[in-house]
A and B are shown apart, each in its own frame.
Chain A
Amino acid sequence: MRADAPEIDSWLERLPLIARDLLAGRLPEPWRWLAQSLVAIAVLLAAFGLLFALLTLAERKVLGRIQNRPGPNRVGWGGILQPFADGIKMLTKEDIVPRSADRLLHFLAPVALVSLSLLSLAVIPYGRRLLPLDLDSGVLYFFAASASSELAVFMAGWAGRNKYSLLAAMRALAQLISYELPLLLSVVPVVMIAGTLRPSEIVEAQSGWTIGILPHWHVLTPWGFAGFAIFMVAALAESNRSPFDLPEAESELIAGHLTEYSGFKYALFFMAEYFAMCALSGMAVTLFLGGWQAPFAALQFVPSYAWFAIKLLVLLLGFIWIRATLPRLRIDQLMRLAWKFLVPLALINLLTAAFWHLSAGWAMGAQPLRWGLALALVAVPFVLIGRGLSAGLGPRTYRYAAQ
């Protein structure tokens, strides 16, 4: 955790650190570091564990509302205790392992998945002073930790010795290989502009406001907006969320790699999915949405971690909204979207970012030209490639359904 001296430093801002020092401060020096790390780990696990529970509820409630039904509303007040009832149900269910399954991999897959998705939570700066692990190449660490998680999905799919599971494993691999590229390419401009791989410095690079109301977040620049959009689409695909949930596709693959899992192992997969979603959203907030920075200079009295939480929750609700809105893609559409659309756009976005970086010194009068050129660099390829991809795909005709 960093301890620089920012101008806004209320007791609310320092509250988590004070609480930590109350817990760990009394220990002698060699143990204090260990205790502080353990406290950080415990807080992360508790916070994201609780967030996971509440997110499942929020997802079911929001999906219910969007589909015009109440959602879970029986356990507790308006259904608020539903996730805990589900947890107890999952824990008490029988753990079934198919006789012909690869027992070791069948057991290892959920464990590996959850631990790998937890690893990536460590480097996200949650607040001005809330940074569990400040690594010089933190962004790289994040993607190294999260990229391996699809390996666990493969293990799960393969270990079950089930055709549906194996199909899911193949789909998961194809999806990961395809979307890893746009995900990483959309991050490169941020690293180029900020000139660092350290998440906390990327957040610092987005500090400041123009006339107090326009934050200098990366998403509010042409290249940043394009990068953010590409990142979020690729993040949806990486976390196997709808509309990219082909690996688990309930309606065609009977839940894919989850087919042979039951009980708490099944729950672990969901936990990992939500952790991965939180981690990717947290990284999106850090890279593009200014991290823990307040949107207006006048709102800095609100503690930084609260801003981070608000932005994170907005992104997570966006994930849920998308799940309720978009139908699942076909595998060929998925591949085409990645290779023919997102990757070229991400590569062009590199050029846009380079232009933005080189034109930073332009005079005030040339700023409209700079914005116009950068916006054109983003919008024109988007329209052209999009038109090219959808050429020949006329409006859909319904041959068998009544008009």
Chain B
Amino acid sequence: MNITLVILGTVTVVSGATALSLRNIVRSVLLLVVSWFGIAALFLWAGAEFAAFAQALVYGGAVSMVVLFAVLLTRRNHLDATVPPPPPGRLLGALIAGGAVAGIIAATVIRTPFELANDEAPSLPVRRLGTLLMGPQLAALLVAGVLLTAALLGAVVIAAGRKDDKEGAP
């Protein structure tokens, strides 16, 4: 077992789990950012320089901002960022949904045949990565992009759906 991997993995998992269990939502987000940086560090450890920096840029720099912005905009009292514990029904739903996603991911990981890497981590220059992404992997890239756009549109629909809310339309 590699000691760096253990440390990075522990930091990532522990900060992620703590983020889920905290009641103070701003602290949760900041811990989540730590977890994302942990993932970036894991990429770096694995020799995937580009993926690591992209992870840090997109998650640490952009997604965290959007999440924090959403949190601040939806609080009624801005300085009080605590959330009550969820009701049991919601907890159960979250467990089922989360468990399903985790199951799918785990099944995919287990069933996918991985070529065992040699001791030497393969170094892939950014240039080749770009040609690969824009050439043979273009379809996968487009599918991922379309999926994310659909998710974004869904989020907008969900967020804009409730017109008869109190406090009037913005």
Contact = CB atoms under 8 A, between A and B. Distances in A.
Nearest to A174: B69
B106 interface: no
B57 A166 contact: no
Given A105-B30, A177-B66, A180-B62, A161 B79 contact: yes
B30 A177 contact: no
Interface string A133-156: 001110011011101101100110
A170 B72 contact: yes
A197 B54 CA distance: 12
A12 to B, nearest CB: 33
A140 B79 CA distance: 35
A173 interface: yes
A146 to B, nearest CB: 8
Given A151-B65, A177-B65, A137 B49 contact: yes
Contact of B49 (A136, A143, A169, A177): A136
A39 to B, nearest CB: 23
A180 B61 contact: yes
A61 to B, nearest CB: 34
Contact of A135 (B49, B57, B68): B49
Given A136-B126, A166-B78, A176 B65 contact: yes
B61 A147 contact: yes
B66 A148 contact: no
A161 B24 CA distance: 14
Contacts of A136: 49-50, 125-126
Nearest to B51: A137
A147 B68 contact: no
A87 interface: no
A156 to B, nearest CB: 12
B33 A151 contact: yes
A195 B53 CA distance: 18
A77 B56 CA distance: 46
A81 B66 CA distance: 43
By size class, the interface of chain B is 20 to 34
Residues of A contacting B: mostly: helix
A196 B65 contact: no
A141 B60 contact: no
Contacts of B126: 136-137, 140, 196-198
Interface in A264-286: none
B28 interface: no
B11 interface: no
B130 to A, nearest CB: 9
A195 B60 CA distance: 26
A97 to B, nearest CB: 16
Interface string A377-397: 000000000000000000000
A158 interface: yes
Nearest to A162: B79
B65 A140 contact: no
A169 B72 contact: yes
Point out which of B50, B61, B62, B72 has the most chain A C-beta atoms below 10 A from its C-beta: B61
Contact of A173 (B33, B50, B69, B125): B69
Interface in B64-93: 64-66, 68-69, 72, 78-79, 81
Contacts of B61: 143-144, 147-148, 150-151, 176, 180
Interface string B116-136: 000000000111000000000
B22 interface: no
A147 B63 CA distance: 11
Contacts of A180: 61-62
Contact of B62 (A145, A154, A177, A197): A177
B54 A140 contact: yes
B8 interface: no
A151 B127 contact: no
Contacts of A144: 40, 53-54, 56-57, 60-61
B13 interface: no
A177 B69 contact: yes
B68 A154 contact: yes
Interface of B: 26-27, 30, 33, 40, 49-50, 53-54, 56-57, 60-62, 64-66, 68-69, 72, 78-79, 81, 125-127
Q: Which 3 A-B pairs have the closest CB atoms?
A: A147-B61, A144-B57, A144-B56
5 contacts: A140-B57, A141-B53, A147-B60, A148-B56, A151-B65
